[in-house]
Structure 1
Amino acid sequence: MEYTFGIQVFLLLFWRSALDALVSENDGGWSSNSEYSLTDEGPCNIDIWDKASLSHRQFIEQYAYSKPVILKGFSDNTKFQFLCSKSSLLQQYGERMVRLSTANTYSYRKVDVRFEEFVDLLLRPQSLDTLGSDTLYFFGDNNFTEWHSLFENYKAPRYMLPHTTGDYSFGIAGPGTGVPFHWHGPGYSEVIYGRKRWFLYPPEKAPHFHPNYTTLSWVKDTYPYLPEEEKPIECTIRPGEVLYFPDRWWHATLNLDTSVFISTFLG
Structure 2
Amino acid sequence: MADAGTGAGKLETYSLIIFLWLTLLFVQLELSESATADDTDQLALLSFKGAIRSDPSGAMSSWNTSLALCHWTGVTCTQQQQKQRRVSGLILESMNLTSTISPSLANLTQLTTLRLAGNMLTGEIPSVIGALSSLSLLDLSSNSFSGRIPNSIGQLSNLEGLLLFNNLLLFNNRLSGGIPSSIGNLTRLYECRLDDNQLQGEIPSSIGNCQKLNILNFSSNLLSGSIPKDLLGLSSLSYYLNLSHNLLSGRVYEVGLLRSLGYLDLSFNNLSDQIPDTLGECLALETLRMSNI
TM-score, normalised to structure 1, is: 0.23
- Which structure has more relative contact order (CA 8 Å, sep 6+)? It is 1
- For the pair shown, the structure with the greater C-alpha radius of gyration is 2
TM-score, normalised to structure 2, is: 0.22
